[in-house]
Structure 1
Amino acid sequence: METKFVLLILTLLLSISVTVRTDYVRPQPRKTLHFPWNPKPPSQPQQVHISLAGEEHMQISWVTDDKSAPSIVEYGTSPGIYTSSAEGDTTSYSYLFYSSGKIHHTVVGPLEHDTVYFYRCGGQGPEFQLKTPPAQFPVTFAVAGDLGQTGWTKSTLDHIDQCKYDIHLLPGDLSYADYMQHRWDTFGELVQPLASARPWMVTEGNHEKEKIPLFTDAFQSYNARWKMPFEESGSTSNLYYSFEVAGVHVVMLGSYTDYDELSDQYSWLKADLSKVDRKKTPWLVVLFHVPWYNSNNAHQGEGDGMMAAMEPLLYAAGVDLVLAGHVHAYERSKRVNNGKSDPCGAVHITVGDGGNREGLAAKFRQPQPEWSMFREASFGHGELKIVNSTHAFWSWHRNDDDEPVRSDQVWITSLIGSGCLAEKNYESRKILISP
């Protein structure tokens, strides 16, 4: 009897020790990065980043302290040999006692697909290189929102750098400057190694607003520094736009500009979705900052108004995937629509866990909703590899002791591949094309 009792105790202790070893222990927050003063020649390009600018074109953006520096980009397919050049335009802004440098935006192209180009900004300074996205599948997106400038931000960026991706998607909250304009400059320097080499396609979050009544308009800094291809997609605002790449139509929406049925954004979205050719772009992906499907205690209900106005449009168009930020945790849903599982709805994924200084949103609602498939409050990034017209592989990589750990993964079948779009009748789609 005594021997059996000892064995029972040992078994219980072993069970407890196994549980302790296998449970995920969330790492502690990390401090905001410190950027020592590093003076540069006033004409040297700083904060270089690139974005798509219409078919076969790329926009290169940078900042100089020299107000007379030219907005010229020289480029070619061999190091140091620049066979083409382009000249762009400039802007600048003042914010209370802060005055920005000269912000340059230059569009280059036409460029070959899936090709490495070497380029130089302003006729001097270091040489950069970029790789254009492919013309056809497969295509890979890195996804991380709510980045900020902390130790975890750097870890996330280092992990993304290890990923063989073509485009970075960022659903809002970039620098966390929060009125301190010099932090836009340090953020630009922090992301330059990645953002100068692959297109960064971003949309605004609440930390980009920076509005001071009677003094400063909302999104002044964001719009000046991160110019997206809104005009190329027929939008009148840098806060919402769309682009196409390698069989994917991507729509970037604004959670912090009007979105009701009488708004310009709603009218633009309706027109944009009605023009999508699913034979050319069988995948339809949407990004915005505030999630519509969220079982975290943080930011509950903040996306309900936008969801009520715009989800019917997305459902009628057959959107495959919706990516959001804002909540500082990771969550992936089933295909959902109108608050419940729907095989013809979109998969919603929240990735507002890039590394911000506000910390993680650790408390989730219980019980877990039936539409919620996976959720975890950890810093990390996502990777979306769209393999062909019908299948994509999504994975989320947790920052765990500075190693990227694949914590969640799933194969996603497109609505084109599932037959949902063929099953939908005309009544469900005419909302997009009615006058």
Structure 2
Amino acid sequence: MEPRLILTVALLISATVTADYIRPLPRKTLQFPWDPKPSSYPQQVHISLAGEQHMRISWITDDKSSPSIVEYGTSPGRYDTAAQGESTFYNYMLYRSGKIHHTVIGPLEHNTVYFYRCGGQGLELQFKTPPSQFPITFAVAGDLGQTGWTKSTLDHIDQCKYDVHLLPGDLSYADYLQHRWDTFGNLVQPLASGRPWMVTQGNHEKESILLLKDGFASYNARWKMPFEESGSSSNLYYSFEVAGVHIIMLGSYADYDEHSDQYRWLKDDLSKVDRRRTPWLLVLFHVPWYNSNKAHQGEGNKMMAAMEPLLYAASVDIVLAGHVHAYERVKRVNNGKSDPCGAVHITIGDGGNSEGLAHKYMNPQPEWSVFREASFGHGELKIVNSTHAFWSWHRNDDDEPVKSDQIWITSLVSSECIAQNRHELRKILMAP
């Protein structure tokens, strides 16, 4: 065989063996045909946890006189309990929202299917409450938007047997076009009405207009989270507990320095965490602190400088972020380098946004970066018991059972880190 031919064959074999994953092309923004419904018909229904054994049901009606009532029970068509809630609306330039209803129901039984109806109108819906103890599974997807890839992500999540959806910012990508909030609400209703969606804000939720409109008006009105229940003064940051897990949702776009309300609230919240009752401690926010993608480099540095010492002292197990439209999993880290007592950081801002994937990475790959790939997908976090959890990431163009990245994570509660950091945590919490 000629030397040139041998070289050509060898290169082809090498390319076949080591070929990188081929990134998918972007998909178009979804189109939503006009679907007229009675003005009192509940639309954009989604649910969220609202304190111990309670659920907040949120929906919108065009009829401003529709009642904010939810009827519910454990048998189809039989509603033996009803709850009255509150309502709001907002104006945004020439846009006026429908009537936005928020009704808290409960107390509810754990791990139970409930059937419910909003405002005495529309279809009967159902949801399942999370379990009271391990195991519990979270679906995770950020930066969703309203594209063909969004639909693919939602279809894959629908195949996952999960209890709660965690979304680290950038929901609708309405970007000032307020009707896009409405189409997003209807797009996610099939999933968001059946399992609690716990969300925090991203940059695309801000929508502020200098001297005319404050930021996050649409987001705060539509996606009310349990901030009051967790002692927070802002819907942009809050916490909740579920089945042995304490989860803190922070605001990348709220003040976060040591003199801010958010920082003071975070210290107070962490002071109440009991790792015997909730051995797992998770944190979500939008802008990642550890990111080897060229997109959004350094944007989380100031928040990291202010808050990482506190999270490290509290022995946070896992940090989930979005913003970068790609996937990356990082080792346990602290202060810019691997640390066995630091948190596992995961960037999962690849839910399906219209801006496309961030496919340019820094080289060489930092020592703390384990796996990175620019693809659309979602994550699943199954916390099996007080010490072990299984994380998996699923590309949209694979079958949902295919795990493109996976790892077992051991909680810091089973290590010496909590005892080692206890003095530092106490010192930070007591600081004025």
Q: How does 1:348-363 map to 2 (within 5 A)?
A: 348-363=345-360
Q: Which residue of 2 aligns with 1:102?
A: 99
Q: Which residue of 1 aligns with 2:166?
A: 169
Q: How does 1:37-186 map to 2 (within 5 A)?
A: 37-186=34-183
TM-superposed CA distance for 1:420, in Å, is 1.4
Gaps of 5+ in 2: none
TM-superposed CA distance for 1:61, in Å, is 0.2
Q: Which residue of 2 aligns with 1:268?
A: 265
Q: How does 1:165-314 map to 2 (within 5 A)?
A: 165-314=162-311
Gaps of 5+ in 1: none
Distance 2:402 2:352 in 1: 15
Contact kept? 1:235, 1:268, Cα under 8 Å: yes
Between 59-68 and 7-16, report the one with greater CA deviation: 7-16
Distance 1:213 1:271 in 2: 33
Aligned pair in 2 of structure 1 residues 430, 187: CA closer, same or farther (>3 Å)? same
TM-superposed CA distance for 1:425, in Å, is 4.9
Distance 1:18 1:162 in 2: 32
Q: How does 1:321-340 map to 2 (within 5 A)?
A: 321-340=318-337
TM-superposed CA distance for 1:223, in Å, is 0.2
Contact kept? 1:210, 1:219, Cα under 8 Å: yes
Distance 2:3 2:261 in 1: 73
Out of 369, 373, 382, the position equivalent to 1:372 is 369
Contact kept? 1:177, 1:184, Cα under 8 Å: yes
**Helix, strand or coil at the partner of 1:423:** helix
Q: Which residue of 1 aligns with 2:395?
A: 398
Contact kept? 2:89, 2:221, Cα under 8 Å: yes
TM-superposed CA distance for 1:426, in Å, is 1.5
Aligned pair in 2 of structure 1 residues 13, 326: CA closer, same or farther (>3 Å)? closer
TM-superposed CA distance for 1:404, in Å, is 6.5
Q: What whole-Å deviation, never above 9, does each CA across 1:299-321 have from its counterpart, x for those lacking one?
A: 01110110000001100111000
Distance 1:424 1:218 in 2: 37
Letter paired with 2:274: D
**Helix, strand or coil at the partner of 1:207:** helix
TM-superposed CA distance for 1:130, in Å, is 0.2
TM-score, L = length of structure 1:
0.96
**Helix, strand or coil at the partner of 2:403:** strand
May I ask how many residue pairs the two structures share in their alignment? Answer: 432
TM-superposed CA distance for 1:17, in Å, is 6.2
Letter paired with 1:204: Q
Distance 2:402 2:98 in 1: 39
TM-superposed CA distance for 1:12, in Å, is 2.0
Q: What whole-Å deviation, never above 9, does each CA across 1:258-289 have from its counterpart, x for those lacking one?
A: 00011000000011011100000000000000
Contact kept? 1:336, 1:345, Cα under 8 Å: yes
Contact kept? 1:247, 1:389, Cα under 8 Å: yes
Letter paired with 1:28: L
TM-score, L = length of structure 2:
0.97
Aligned pair in 2 of structure 1 residues 24, 211: CA closer, same or farther (>3 Å)? same
Answering whether residue 430 of structure 2 is matched by residue 424 of structure 1, we say no
C-alpha RMSD of the superposition: 1.6
Letter paired with 1:103: I
Out of 377, 380, 383, the position equivalent to 1:383 is 380
Letter paired with 1:138: P
Q: What whole-Å deviation, never above 9, does each CA across 1:204-223 have from its counterpart, x for those lacking one?
A: 00000000112211000000
Letter paired with 2:126: Q
**Helix, strand or coil at the partner of 1:28:** coil
Aligned pair in 2 of structure 1 residues 274, 403: CA closer, same or farther (>3 Å)? closer
Letter paired with 2:331: K
Distance 2:58 2:425 in 1: 41
Letter paired with 1:12: A
